[in-house]
Structure formats: structure tokens, C-alpha cells
């Protein structure tokens, strides 16, 4: 089997590492708009061959789209235009409803299996690729009834090879729930980083005093705007009401401080502590 990867950054590159290590494919070919990224991916062994976009579409049995969601929206119809009737296409985009809508009437829609591996880091580019990035993480497959069974089966086998736990969702629910647990955390991190940079003018002080809490909370602020602005754009209808809820909670916290009501603040924090049990389970 030949696997073709469009987008040779953190996600596509990490998938390539696991594909090779687990002998999931006989050949891995890759395309990236950046010639430099293509050459680096080949140099460090992520792919066996640099291919053109057209070659990836025509020569691959499984095609993985590991590019930002705005790029997926543009290239997905072109990929489906060019594949054989046996090839399977999947993507790793963090939004799903708009992508599915983009190709809902395409003649090869059933060869597309929308998926979202819930894993990543703040880094980008081929050299950021990691072994086992998806191991013990969730991989979401959306609207599986709209894809051919053999196509879904192949994508399931692919994520099982990566070590992921697979769950199935419809695209609308996916975008709403991921908005809470993933997209909101990035919003918070960007806002926190900007607040600190705006008010703390001494960069040396930030460096010296930024302990574990700040470092872990602001880590996501290093995530690429090229990837995240399109995500926010495509999921605006879910993110805006989520932000309203979050801002209400911030206002509640502020009110307790303004009123010097430490009992209420204690209750607020104790309620938040319940997340420990949820995450542990």
C-alpha cells in the first residue's frame, strides 16, 4: 500500500514516523507547498519520495491531508476529483462541519472519511514530528455513515496502528465539543500571553518568574497563527457562545474578589476541582 501525505509538518510528519515504524505501508510519498519542507522531510526519512500534488492523488491508496483547515477546504475537492475509485482520503482538521459541507455532493464523497486526531504540540514543520504522538489519544471519525464501509475500515485500522482510541461523532457535535475542550484553551492561552506581554514590560522578569503554572497555561500561545486563525474562522458559530460562558465565569470570579467574598471564591474553586475526577476517569 502507498500512503500519500499532503502537509509534512507536525501532524503529517508524526503520522509518517509511525507508518514507517509499524510497516503500515510499503511506500510513503509526500507533498508540501514548501519545497524546503519537502526536502527536509525526505532528508530525515519521513517520506520515501517527494511527489507532486497530482502524484499523491493518483498514486496513493490512502491520502492524508495534514494541512490547516482553510487549505483542506480548498484542496479536498481537488483531491476527490483526482483519486481512483478505490483510494481513501482522510484529514486531520480540527473542524469538520464546513469541510464535509464543501464536498457533500461530490461524486467521490463516500471515499472521504473525516477524522480528527486529538493530539499535537505547539511546534510546526517536519523537524517537529514525533514518534507515538497519537498513542493513547482520541481519534474522532465523523459522519461515518456517509462514507463507504471499506474506507472507514481502512481509516480505523490506520488510527489503531497509531495507537489511538477511536470514537464516532456527527460533525456538528464534534465542532461544538472540540470548541470547548480544544479551541477555548488556545483562546485562553493567546489572551493570557498578550495580557502578560502588555502589562509586564520587562521580558527578563517574565522569563525569571514564569513558573510551571504560567508556562503550562501559556504553552499553547506558541501555536502557529497560520493553523489557528482558520480554525477560529471555521468554528466561529460555536466559539462565540463558548466565549460568553467563559467570560461569565471570569466575571463571577472577579465579583467574588470585589466583594471580598472568600467563601464564594472557595466554592468557585472547589467546583472547578471536580474536573480532576472527570479527567482521571
**Residue bearing cell 500519500:** 4
pLDDT category, 123, cuts 50, 70, 90? confident
Predicted confidence (pLDDT) at residue 58 exceeds the cutoff of 80: yes
pLDDT-based confidence at 250, cuts 50/70/90?
very high
- 1-10, 63-72, 127-136, 197-206: which has the minimum mean pLDDT? 197-206
Write down the pLDDT at residue 209: 67
Residue 4 C-beta-side C-alpha neighbours within 13 Å = 22
**Average pLDDT in the chain:** 94
CB neighbour list of residue 157: distance below 8 Å, 6 or more residues apart: none
Q: Which of 90, 83, 28 has its CA nearest to residue 57?
A: 83
E-state strands within the chain: 2-6, 27-31, 49-50, 62-65, 88-91, 112-113, 115-117, 138-142, 165-169
Q: For the chain, what percent of residues have pLDDT higher than 70?
A: 95
pLDDT classification of 215: cutoffs 50, 70, 90: confident
Q: Say what percent of the chain tops pLDDT 90.
A: 84
| pLDDT per position as a tens digit, 33-56 | 999 999 999 999 999 999 999 999
Q: Are 32 and 58 in contact (CB under 8 A)?
A: no
According to DSSP, residue 220 is labeled G
Task: Decide if 70 contacts 230 (C-beta within 8 A).
Answer: yes
- Which residues have C-beta within 8 Å of that of residue 237, sequence separation ≥ 6? none
CB atoms within 10 A of CB 81: 12
* Cβ 82 vs Cβ 60: under 8 Å: no
Domains of the chain: 2-173 (3.40.50.720), 175-280 (1.10.3660.10)
Band (pLDDT 50/70/90 cuts) for residue 210 is: low
Q: Cβ–Cβ contacts within 10 Å for residue 38, how many?
A: 20
Amino acid at each position: 500500500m502507498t500512503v500519500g501525505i499532503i502537509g509534512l509538518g507536525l501532524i503529517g510528519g508524526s503520522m509518517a514516523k509511525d507508518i514507517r515504524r509499524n510497516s503500515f505501508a510499503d511506500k510513503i510519498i509526500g507533498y508540501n507547498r514548501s519545497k524546503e519542507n519537502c526536502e527536509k522531510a525526505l532528508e530525515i526519512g519521513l517520506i520515501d519520495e517527494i511527489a507532486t500534488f497530482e502524484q499523491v492523488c493518483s498514486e496513493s491508496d490512502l491520502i492524508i491531508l495534514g494541512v490547516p483547515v482553510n487549505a483542506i477546504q480548498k484542496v479536498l475537492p481537488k483531491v476527490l476529483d483526482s483519486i481512483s475509485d478505490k483510494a481513501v482520503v482522510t484529514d486531520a482538521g480540527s473542524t469538520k462541519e464546513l469541510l464535509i459541507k464543501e464536498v457533500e455532493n461530490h461524486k467521490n464523497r463516500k471515499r472521504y472519511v473525516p477524522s480528527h486526531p486529538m493530539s499535537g504540540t505547539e511546534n510546526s514543520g517536519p523537524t517537529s514530528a514525533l514518534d507515538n504522538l497519537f498513542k493513547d489519544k482520541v481519534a474522532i471519525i465523523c459522519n461515518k455513515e456517509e462514507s463507504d464501509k471499506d474506507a472507514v475500515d481502512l481509516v480505523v485500522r490506520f488510527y489503531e496502528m497509531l495507537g489511538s482510541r477511536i470514537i464516532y461523532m456527527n460533525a456538528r457535535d464534534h465542532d461544538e465539543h472540540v470548541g470547548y475542550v480544544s479551541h477555548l484553551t488556545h483562546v485562553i492561552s493567546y489572551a493570557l500571553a498578550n495580557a502578560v506581554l502588555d502589562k509586564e514590560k520587562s521580558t527578563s522578569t517574565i522569563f525569571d518568574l514564569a513558573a510551571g503554572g504560567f508556562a503550562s497555561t501559556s504553552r499553547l500561545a506558541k501555536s502557529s497563527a497560520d493553523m489557528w486563525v482558520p480554525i477560529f474562522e471555521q468554528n466561529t458559530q460555536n466559539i462565540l457562545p463558548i466565549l460568553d460562558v467563559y467570560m461569565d465565569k471570569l466575571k463571577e470570579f472577579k465579583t467574588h474578589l470585589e466583594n471580598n467574598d472568600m467563601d464564594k471564591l472557595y466554592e468557585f474553586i472547589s467546583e472547578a476541582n471536580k474536573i480532576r475526577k472527570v479527567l482521571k476517569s
